[in-house]
Amino acid sequence: MRRLRVGLLGVGVVGGSVARALTQKREQLNAAAGAELVLTRAVVRDPTKARDVPKNLLGTDAEALVRADDVDLVVELMGGEEPCRTLIDTALTHGKHVVTANKRVLAWHGDALFAKAAAKNVALRYEAAVCGGLPVIAPLADDLAANAIRELRGIINGTTNFIVTAMAAGGSYADTLAEAQRRGFAEADPTADVEGIDAADKLAILVRLAFGAAITPQKIFREGIAKLEARDIALGRELGYTLKLLGTARLAATGVEARVHPVFLPTSHPLARVDGALNAVQVVGDLCGPIMFSGQGAGGDATASAVLADIIHVARGALNTTRATRDLPILPMGETRTRCYFRIAVDDVPGVFAKITQVLADHAIGLASVLQREPPQAGSAEIVLLTYSAPESAHAAATADLEKLSCTRAVMARIRVDAPDEHRHA
């Protein structure tokens, strides 16, 4: 049987699960790979900690591992931009195959690294970098290769999905974030998750793959969940919508839309039912129509499932999961068309509604439905509006004009709605 010698960079949550499986599931994995998968080296920061790797294979010199003669395939599971980018680059330069779960490196440096892998005729596979255990990279690159992808949208960050799901049950943002931290779903510093930074990295990887667009995350419009109020989630539900933080990308006539922000989806949408820390991605192809992948986006064993599949694919000779890139611009957010939900606190005086509808009409925005709530305080009222689709630039300009109205106390919320114009509340 052929041998594929594996060097492991990092034996933490995911690397530990990979190392365990390589021992405990050896026969099954070798049979699937058609090769003997042999762990020859592993590096960590602290080699004195107990690990699922024989002591004689453990070291701390990552630079040596990516150049070592007894390594055919480098599995990078350390995380973070550097030194991982340099280590992956060096491994490819030395003709090693690479499997990584590192979304940061691929989102920001993918184009150069894929080019190097192609030039060296070695693998650079990254199934675990987007949605952990959920197979979405290989399906997009291989199984859906005959499709022109028209759009994709996904719950690609489990932490924020846990938070918005708990907020839908009535919790405040601060309380549900604290609960997520207690349960290990959120980091002590939750910025990358709650500001949509992690989701934008993953969306960049998906956009490059699905549409062949050269993209880095700074081109992606991004709005997080930190300003969300449970009240808007509850009001949205009354109108027939469920709130999710989505990464969305769509092929338009002149380029690709790519954005990460909170979205109201019709409660009947399959993504609206994906709750808690789960992940899901819906892809719409011209031939296959809508397809949805859902499951565990994180966790040692679930993520190891994706890493091990990549190792098996390399052993079988399948090198890269990419589509050819083409010259496709990323469209400015202002050109994106969505519907919007507004909650506006106003003075409880006659004529307010006419002034608000006039502002919308001035920006050519159609009004789909209106809720007027009991005043939360004497003398004030709360108006909830749902618009028909219009460019983001029109909705943004209307928001600014609504704020200037003398009867407006504050535009409390504006949340984009992903639903066709004909959608009506349940």
Instruction: Specify the pairing of strand 36-43 against strand 58-59.
Output: parallel
Residue 350 Cβ, how far from ligand NAP at the closest point, in Å?
A: 56
Check residue 98 for interaction with ligand NAP (CB under 6 A). Answer: no
Of the candidates 245, 321, 243, the residue with the CA atom closest to the CA atom of residue 279: 245
55 is catalytic: no
Of the candidates 327, 311, 283, the residue with the CA atom closest to the CA atom of residue 146: 283
Closer to ligand NAP by CB, 63 or 362: give it. 63
Q: Is 146 exposed, middle or buried (0-12, 13-18, 19+ CB in 10 A)?
A: exposed
Residue 78 Cβ, how far from ligand NAP at the closest point, in Å?
A: 4
Check residue 13 for interaction with ligand NAP (CB under 6 A). Answer: yes
Query: Between residue 36 and residue 95, which ones bind ligand NAP under the rule CB under 6 A?
Result: 43-46, 49, 60, 62, 77-79, 83
Check residue 183 for interaction with ligand NAP (CB under 6 A). Answer: no
Stretch in the footprint of ligand NAP (CB under 6 A) among 12-20, 200-208, 220-228, 253-261? 12-20
Residue 45 Cβ, how far from ligand NAP at the closest point, in Å?
A: 3
Closer to ligand NAP by CB, 43 or 280: give it. 43
Binding mask 283-322 for ligand NAP (x = CB under 6 A): ---------------xx---x-------------------
Residue 128 Cβ, how far from ligand NAP at the closest point, in Å?
A: 5
Residue 48 Cβ, how far from ligand NAP at the closest point, in Å?
A: 9
Give CA–CA dist 136/247, Å, rounded. Answer: 14
Binding mask 112-151 for ligand NAP (x = CB under 6 A): ----------------x---x-------------------
Give CA–CA dist 172/226, Å, rounded. Answer: 11
Give the active site residue among 116, 202, 219, 355: 202
Provide DSSP, 380-411: EEEEEEEEPPEEHHHHHHHHHHHHHSTTEEEE
- The kind and range of the H/E element at 342 are strand 337-347
Looking at residue 123, its amino acid is A
Single residue of 4, 6, 11, 415 touching ligand NAP by CB under 6 A:
11
Report yes or no: 125 and 98 within 8 Å, Cβ to Cβ: yes
Residue 99 Cβ, how far from ligand NAP at the closest point, in Å?
A: 11
Give CA–CA dist 193/236, Å, rounded. Answer: 23
Check residue 200 for interaction with ligand NAP (CB under 6 A). Answer: no
Check residue 3 for interaction with ligand NAP (CB under 6 A). Answer: no
Closer to ligand NAP by CB, 35 or 312: give it. 312
Report yes or no: 194 and 226 within 8 Å, Cβ to Cβ: yes
Provide DSSP, 57-117: GEES-HHHHTT-TT-SEEEE-S-SSTTHHHHHHHHHHTT-EEEE--HHHHHHHHHHHHHHH
Give CA–CA dist 126/79, Å, rounded. Answer: 13
> Among all residues, which ones are annotated catalytic?
202
Binding site for ligand NAP (CB under 6 A): 10-15, 43-46, 49, 60, 62, 77-79, 83, 101-102, 128, 132, 298-299, 303
